[in-house]
A and B are shown apart, each in its own frame.
Chain A
Amino acid sequence: MRTTNTRTKNRRTKKTHRGKMFAALLFALSAFAALTGCSSKTAPTDGASSAAPPAEDAAPVSEAIPEGESLPASEAPVAESELKALEITNVSYDPTRELYAAYNEIFAKHWKEKTGQDVTVTQSHGGSGKQARSVLEGNEADVVTLALEQDINELVTGGLIESGWVGEFPKNSAPYTSTIVFLVRKDNPKSIKDWDDIVKPGIEIITPDPKTSGGARWNFLAAWGFALDLYQGDEEKTTQFLKDLYGNVTVLDSGARGSTTTFVENGQGDVLLAWENEAFLSLLEHPDDFEIVTPSISILAQPSVAVVDEVVDKRGTREVAAAYLEFLYSDEAQFLEGQNFYRPSNPDILAGFADTFDLNLKLVNIDDDFGGWTAATAKFFADDAIFDQIYKQ
């Protein structure tokens, strides 16, 4: 009696087992079919203007179609304008997110007032070189706002941007600038004042690797600028200076943010070489633990902006994309940039931030002192160039 009972039970569980497995298989197959199928489904629609399916599970399809993207509810614009809402993508580097999050709002307002059209800007952030590469590889950016002119030049080489982009916007297409400063521990225990203090034996330096972090190339060049001035143009001595400097580097992180963590959170090193705006962000996070020291000579770091011609022509967004970058030079935007610790390129507005920035700093710049990025890259950062030589044993 009992045995039959268990047996039927057993059979039942087995049956459900089979049912479950079958269901799972079916589900799997349909999912797979959906995944591969969506590509063929989008094919006939051609021209992406058909209404995007809003369903969440059809995400792969809707991704292929720029319009009708569902943004997080809080930021979705009220779509009541008679004009079609615009959407552009700004591929930028870290850590400009907060700057652009605020800027996108004032730009949207400006654009709405000017044209009556809504515009939303999708942001993308990452390492500058990596971001440039993603655009080169097909990430459709209407505008790029990157840390290095060189990264944008790679997009010119790749055929995405027409050469001559540097002249398209004022100030070499650099609406805001920054520089390289020292972040030291509170009260400056090692009394670090200038570049020649940090090459002394026993000082531990934290800076990112210029080979993996484009932004870190400014750090190297700033030190070079100082030493070349100190040794009155003697490159051999300057190289030795840099050799001593990198000899004091105890952790050469792959990116600027990694270096900051190493210095700030893990307590390594005596001095961090950092972008001025990033040093301020660290101060903001830990107001009582650090100080910023501005050396006597540093470099004018110019993050560059450009319209990506190939993408805006394809998407028909050239006008708004250009306006987006143009508006970065407006007083309102310049002020915002200053608030986010970038140096506004408009001297009048910059003067208003005299309390924040050391404006007496002597700045070398990439074009006059290094002959532009292409030359500087070849001389310092290409394989087996000066930076590699410094580490050769």
Chain B
Amino acid sequence: MEKAVKGALIAAGAAFIFIMLILPLATVIVYAFRQGLETFWQAVSEPYTLKALQLTLLTTVIALIVNTVFGIAASWAITRYHFKGRGLLTTLIDIPFSISPVIAGLTFILVFGRIGWAYPFLQAHDIKIVFAVPGIVLATIFVTFPFVSREMIPLMQSRGTDEEEAAALMGASWFTIYRKITFPHIKWSLLYGIILCTARAMGEFGAVSVVSGHLRGKTNTLPLHVEILFNEFHLTQAFAVSGILVVIAVIVLIVRNIVEYKLEKGDER
């Protein structure tokens, strides 16, 4: 009986993943190799592709670091203390999720762009933010902003604060409490948050597209490069370049498995 339930549940889950995730992925791969290995390789090794890859990696790393720092601070502030407006704060953090990517990009245009209020100042000091790399980084941070904190908040909330309070009463510092009490409990959430954030930062298209200006070799990230190839009637190449993103995702997956394995080993001790 129990076995049957287990089997059925696994089958249902696997079927869902197969239809919703693996088949679309297979479609991408089939398209990528439709015109043979050579076309694929050409698309992938083109200098503009490599340039876009560089920019994507840079953007992802910065977004990841910023959002992790924010995530740790925010989840701590929100779950460890009682204060008025806590629910509001949590919801405000979620806002970037609910904003259409088109508008997310527009927000930065309306601050730093030619029609934005900060533009005269930026012009006077010859600083470029939108239609340059800083804008792309900002837009990416924006869309991935809630990930890390959002992963940790529910867990920290359901765990309560008793242990930390006890430790605090014994005079432990914040860092000690976090490292010894909080971190072991939330490390999985933190890990998932970081991975979600990485994946999303890499793949983000909509918001970045608005602030990028699509300057080839300068402000094109991989997803933008994909779109440009697509718009130029190079569907095969577009899918080939998306293949790079899938490969990075797989690398992230492997790294994650290694980290998980190490953490699990740490748990067993």
Contacts and interface: CB of A to CB of B under 8 A. Distances in A.
B65 A28 contact: yes
Given A39-B134, A124-B214, A47 B179 contact: no
Contacts of A125: 214, 216, 228, 231-232
Interface in B62-94: 62, 65-66, 68-69
Interface residues of A, number: 65
Interface string A72-84: 1111000000000
Contacts of A139: 130-131, 213, 215
B159 interface: no
A261 B233 CA distance: 9
Contacts of B215: 89, 122-124, 139
A354 B128 CA distance: 48
A6 B268 CA distance: 12
B20 interface: no
A265 B235 contact: yes
Given A17-B179, A75-B47, A134 B131 contact: yes
Interface string A238-256: 0000000000000000010
B188 interface: no
A46 B266 CA distance: 54
B241 interface: no
Contacts of B130: 137-139
Interface stretch (B11-19, B111-119, B160-168, B196-204): B111-119
Nearest to A257: B231
A278 interface: yes
B214 A126 contact: yes
B3 interface: no
Select the residue from A17, A48, A123 with max chain B CB neighbours within 10 A.
A123
B256 interface: no
B134 A38 contact: yes
B6 interface: no
Nearest to A261: B235
B47 A72 contact: yes
Nearest to A260: B233
B50 interface: yes
Nearest to A281: B233
From DSSP, what is the main secondary structure of chain A's interface residues?
A: helix
A72 B133 contact: no
Nearest to B106: A137
A43 B125 contact: yes
B100 interface: no
B232 A43 contact: no
Given A125-B228, A134-B213, A278 B179 contact: no
Given A43-B127, A72-B48, A74-B47, A35 B62 contact: yes
Given A60-B133, A60-B137, A72-B48, A45 B126 contact: yes
A202 B109 CA distance: 45
Interface residues of B, number: 49
A25 B113 CA distance: 31
Contacts of B246: none
Given A28-B65, A63-B218, A56 B54 contact: yes
Interface string A1-24: 000001001100110011001001
Contacts of A14: 179
Contacts of A351: none
Contacts of A123: 215-216
Nearest to A134: B213
A68 interface: no
Contacts of A326: none
Interface stretch (A91-99, A178-186, A382-390): A91-99
Interface string A123-156: 1111000010010111110000000000000000
A302 interface: no
B186 interface: no
Given A28-B65, A94-B231, A278-B233, A60 B134 contact: yes
B217 interface: yes
Given A39-B127, A97-B232, A122-B217, A72 B119 contact: no
A374 interface: no
Contacts of A21: 179
Given A32-B65, A126-B209, 12 more contacts: A9-B269, A17-B179, A28-B66, A35-B134, A39-B134, A60-B137, A91-B213, A122-B215, A122-B218, A134-B131, A138-B109, A257-B230
Closest 4 CB pairs of A and B: A72-B47, A138-B114, A94-B231, A139-B213
21 contacts: A25-B69, A42-B125, A43-B125, A56-B58, A60-B133, A63-B134, A63-B218, A64-B132, A74-B47, A94-B232, A123-B215, A123-B216, A124-B216, A126-B231, A134-B214, A137-B116, A137-B131, A138-B109, A138-B119, A158-B115, A257-B233
Interface of A: 6, 9-10, 13-14, 17-18, 21, 24-25, 27-29, 31-32, 35, 38-39, 42-43, 45-48, 56-57, 59-60, 63-64, 69, 71-75, 89, 91, 94-95, 97-98, 122-126, 131, 134, 136-140, 158, 255, 257, 260-261, 265, 278, 281-282, 284-285
